[in-house]
Structure 1
Amino acid sequence: MREYKNFKEIERDLKLLKLQKEIDKEMILLSYNQTKESLSPKRILKSAAGSIFKNALILKGATTILGYIGDKWK
């Protein structure tokens, strides 16, 4: 526990705590808005479509490579 020597120190710490409280509140609001945006249907569909496209490209590339290797072994 901190011991204060005068009221000026107490007032300074109270101001700091008030500012920290405002910063924390803004951080929570920012985090909430980012989460809300990331869970929007548009964002979810865009992310899913990107994943499907990426996986399709990987599968096509793997199939091509494996087919090429399979032809070499014949």
Structure 2
Amino acid sequence: MREYKNFDEIERDLKLLKLQKEIDKEKVVLSYNLAKESLSPKRIFKSAAGSIFKNALILKGTTSVLGFIGDRWK
């Protein structure tokens, strides 16, 4: 536990604690807003559509390569 020598030290620490409290509160608000945005139906749909499209391209590329390799072995 800290011992204070005068009221100025106490006031300084109280100001620091108040500022830290405000910073922490802003961090919570920011985290909440980011989570809320990332879980929005629009964002989820966009993410799912992007994944489906990406997987379709990978599948198409893979089948093309495998078909090419299969043709070489005939």
Q: TM-score, normalising length from structure 1? A: 0.95
Alpha-carbon displacement from aligned partner over 1:11-70 (angstroms, at most 9, x marks no partner)? 101100000000100110011011111111011000000000000000000000011111
User: Which aligned runs of 4 or more in structure 1 are off by greater than 4 angstroms?
Assistant: none
Q: Which residue of 2 aligns with 1:71?
A: 71
Residues 26-37 of structure 1: matches in 2 within 5 Å? 26-37=26-37
Q: Structure 1: 5+ residue runs without aligned partners?
A: none
Tell me the equivalent position of 1:49: 49
CA RMSD of aligned residues (A): 0.7
Distance, in Å, in 2 between the alignment partners of 1:2 and 1:37 is 42
Aligned length: 74
How far did residue 73 of structure 1 move?
1.1
**Structure 1: distance between partners of 2:70 and 2:7:** 83
Q: Which stretches in structure 2 are left out of the alignment for 5+ residues?
A: none
